[in-house]
């Protein structure tokens, strides 16, 4: 009798996860188990279900069938972009403080440590000087950094980041890479949705190739290869660093 390998140390696990909107399957029978303490690049074209996987993980969309399960206590989620009314009355610091609400509770007071976490997170993302600015008055890049500071302040074990590198300036890009490395070295689990093949292969422990179905999941050496990528990006254009590759025309090429 074969004993199945049991690992309780998963951060996020889905079993035959199917999510559909109006009959269109955004995710179709995805079974995957992301272990704790690794960094994962979630790779796939637009419409591959990357955001849907995140939204299912935090319970914002109901699976049509199958299940999604968190193996950790806290999860931080940084969406691709946030449409907030410009006049919404919160300051940048208020937004970062929200990251502590789960720990502090509905009516609990912020401890000295909570305040320190908020401040150190804002310093780490270089937004400490924006603390009293209204969130809606910030630029897109500044908002993104404030939201990342919020995620940092949350001290979550699982960090889900949806396209964090899209549309950020060079310094933010570098700061973010350092931040991700730091989080991973602290033993957190990081899942980053991205189009960027080069970064996926270079900066992450594992790569999850998604195109509504699970195409592949493993180390970059096993996943960032011609056949897998062709299937993942079938019919789409891929960005490899500064190079743009049209997979639809490319995947019958060299090999």
The Cα–Cα gap between 168 and 55 comes to 22
Does 140 sit near another protein (CB under 8 A)? no
Does 131 sit near another protein (CB under 8 A)? no
Contact pick of 29, 37, 66, 79 for another protein (by CB under 8 A): 79
Taking the least distance from each CB to another protein, the nearer of 142 and 223 is 142
Does 91 sit near another protein (CB under 8 A)? yes
Minimum distance of another protein from residue 235's CB (angstroms): 27
Does 23 sit near another protein (CB under 8 A)? no
Does 22 sit near another protein (CB under 8 A)? yes
For the chain, how far is it from start to end, CA to CA, in angstroms? 40
Does 160 sit near another protein (CB under 8 A)? yes
Taking CB under 8 A as the binding criterion, the range among 91-99, 168-176, 201-209, 235-243 that sits at the site for another protein is 91-99
Residue-by-residue DSSP string for 150-187: HHHHHT-SEEEEESTTTT--HHHHHHHHHHHHHHHHTT
Contact pick of 9, 46, 67, 84 for another protein (by CB under 8 A): 84
Taking the least distance from each CB to another protein, the nearer of 86 and 235 is 86
Contact pick of 95, 130, 192, 193 for another protein (by CB under 8 A): 95
Taking the least distance from each CB to another protein, the nearer of 80 and 213 is 80
Taking the least distance from each CB to another protein, the nearer of 8 and 85 is 85
Which string of x and - marks every residue 31-60 that binds another protein (by CB under 8 A)?
A: ------------------------x--xxx
Residue-by-residue DSSP string for the chain: -PPPPP---EEEEEEEEEEEETTEEEEEEEEEEEETT-EEEEE--TTSSHHHHHHHHTTSS--SEEEEEE-SS-EEEE-S-----TT---BHHHHHHHTTHHHH-SSPPPPHHHHHHHHHHHHHTT-GGGTTSBGGGS-HHHHHHHHHHHHHHHT-SEEEEESTTTT--HHHHHHHHHHHHHHHHTT-EEEEEESBHHHHHHH-SEEEEEESEEEEEE-HHHHSSHHHHHHHTTTSEEEETTEEEEHHHHTTS--
Does 3 sit near another protein (CB under 8 A)? no
Does 89 sit near another protein (CB under 8 A)? yes
* Residues that bind another protein in the complex, under the rule CB under 8 A: 22, 55, 58-60, 75-77, 79, 82, 84-91, 94-95, 98, 101-102, 106-107, 134, 150, 154, 160
């Amino acid at each position: 009798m074969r004993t199945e390998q049991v690992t309780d140390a998963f951060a996020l696990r889905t079993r035959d996860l199917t999510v559909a909107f109006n009959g269109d399957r955004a995710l179709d029978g995805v079974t995957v188990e992301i272990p704790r303490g690794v960094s994962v690049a979630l790779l796939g074209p637009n419409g591959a279900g990357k955001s849907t996987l995140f939204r299912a993980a935090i319970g914002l969309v109901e699976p049509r069938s199958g299940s999604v399960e968190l193996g950790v206590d806290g999860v931080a989620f940084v969406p691709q972009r946030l449409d907030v009314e410009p006049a919404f009355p919160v300051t940048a610091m208020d937004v970062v403080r929200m990251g502590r609400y789960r720990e502090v509770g509905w009516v609990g007071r912020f401890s000295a440590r909570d305040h320190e976490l908020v401040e150190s997170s804002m310093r780490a993302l270089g937004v400490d000087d924006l603390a009293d600015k209204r969130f809606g008055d910030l630029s897109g890049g500044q908002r993104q950094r404030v939201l990342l500071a919020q995620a940092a302040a949350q001290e979550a074990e699982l960090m889900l980041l949806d396209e964090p590198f899209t549309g950020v300036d060079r310094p933010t890009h570098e700061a973010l890479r350092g931040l991700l490395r730091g989080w991973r070295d602290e033993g957190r689990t990081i899942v980053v949705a991205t189009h960027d093949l080069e970064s996926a292969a270079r900066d992450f422990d594992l790569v999850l190739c998604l195109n509504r179905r699970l195409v592949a999941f493993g180390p970059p050496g096993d996943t960032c290869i011609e056949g897998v990528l062709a299937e993942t990006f079938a019919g789409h254009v891929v960005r490899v660093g500064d190079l743009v590759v049209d997979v639809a025309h490319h995947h019958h090429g060299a090999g």
